[in-house]
Amino acid sequence: MKKVGIFGGTFDPPHFGHLLIANEVLHSLNLTEIWFMPNQIPPHKQNEKICDSYHRVNMLKLAVKGNEFFRIETIELERPGPSYTYDTIRLLKQRYSQVEFYFIIGADMIEYLPKWYKIEQLQNCIQFVGVKRTGYSIQSPFSILEVNVPQFDVSSTMIRKRLKEGKTVHYLLPESVIQYIKENHLYES
């Protein structure tokens, strides 16, 4: 059976923290592939200004280019409204009945899990894979399979802030993505 790690996120923009986690989880758990899954509207960021999904997908495509184990799954962009993971996992399981799914989350999301939509039902249909993140606890009342990943204290928020302030972002995300951001004047205001 194919074993796939779903890496759900906003990816606004994608960075080396995401790529590092995806690669480490892929190899640690002997998964077949990692599917990066950009959300339509992140459930807990509904009042925040998010870059259009068109640009987030283009940046993801550039970020995963050349890695045969990395794919982009756009299922959450097919429906409007907040992208609740419970709804998405049900749809994924219907569409890919021969795949065993794992859902990858960082420790900030582990802390937030009790507030997720239908979390009790969700935990019964998916195995969560958790990775540490500076400043957050990996402890949870829910079942989390922990994978040790070197901690890299980067976030999309930090990158957006630096870009706005005209500071360097080299080595925080792929050069191809930096180029795309500049060409499309993203995160300038």
Ligand X SMILES: Nc1ncnc2c1ncn2[C@@H]1O[C@H](COP(=O)(O)OP(=O)(O)OP(=O)(O)O)[C@@H](O)[C@H]1O
Ligand Y SMILES: O=C(O)c1ccc[n+]([C@@H]2O[C@H](COP(=O)([O-])O)[C@@H](O)[C@H]2O)c1
Question: Which positions from 77 to 96 touch ligand Y by CB under 6 A, shown as an x/- string?
Answer: ------xxxx----------
Q: Which of residues 115-154 bind ligand X (CB under 6 A)?
A: 131, 133, 152, 154
Q: Residue 148 corresponds to which amino acid?
A: N
| Region from 9-17, 76-84, 114-122, 162-170 binding ligand X, contact rule CB under 6 A | 9-17
From candidates 6, 109, 147, 173, binder to ligand X by CB under 6 A: 109
Binding mask 106-145 for ligand Y (x = CB under 6 A): ---x------xx----------------------------
Length of the chain: 189
8 A C-beta contact, residue 124 and residue 157: no
Report in angstroms how near the CB of residue 182 gets to ligand Y at its nearest. 23
Task: Write down the least CB distance from residue 18 to ligand X, Å.
Answer: 6
Strand, helix or coil for residue 37? strand
Amino acid at 24: E
Chain-centre distance for alpha carbon 178: 18
Q: Which residues of 132-156 are buried (b: 16+ CB within 10 A; e: fewer)?
A: bbeeeeeebeeebeebebeebebbb
Strands of 23-164, DSSP E: 33-38, 70-72, 99-106, 127-131, 144-146
Task: State the residues that interact with ligand Y by CB under 6 A.
Answer: 8-10, 39, 42-45, 83-86, 109, 116-117
Task: State the residues that interact with ligand X by CB under 6 A.
Answer: 9-12, 17-18, 21, 105-106, 108-109, 131, 133, 152, 154-157
